Structure 1
Amino acid sequence: MRRYLGIVSIVILIVTYLILQSLVGKKTGNFWILITFIGYLSSVLSSWYSTSGFWKMASATILILIPAGYLVVFILFLVGVSTGSGF
């Protein structure tokens, strides 16, 4: 059973994304932060307890790239704002 937890981790991320997309346009307030946190945390736990193999490596790579991508976009935004290069 533990060898499939890498696949389960990826499926959890996809289901979290689909849940968030189904809530677009509805008044949920900051509830989306809780949904994202629970989905990401459960995906990390699922990946952590899976056995070594391709799916564990794939899910771990995805779980590392998601926050790294957000940080890169945030840093690029800050650099763009600080340089003040407008049109």
Structure 2
Amino acid sequence: MRSPATVKEVQQLTGRMASLSRVLQGAEVRYQKIEKLALAILVTARKLRHYFQSYEVVVRTDHPIRQVLQKPDLAGKMMKWSLSARETT
């Protein structure tokens, strides 16, 4: 996917991104920052599964998300997310 070149293309992309957003619910509000980031990546990967399966997608972040999701001693939800993310790609 190429970068938007016009204002209209930027607005269209912004609209698509807004349709991906979701509000944190229940206990998700109390998640640690790294857990919220992992959840956001997972939700986006699920919603855009067809893109993730058709193209190489690189997620750039200043958080050690890969290292966290590859830890052998992950707690419940993080382990579940890690496995789910692997199924998506």
Bucket of the pairwise TM-score, normalised by the shorter protein: 0.3 to 0.5
More relative contact order in 1 or in 2 (CA 8 Å, sep 6+)?
Answer: 1
Structure with the bigger percentage of helix? 1
> Who wins on radius of gyration, i.e. which is larger?
1
After TM superposition, the score normalised by the length of structure 2 is 0.33
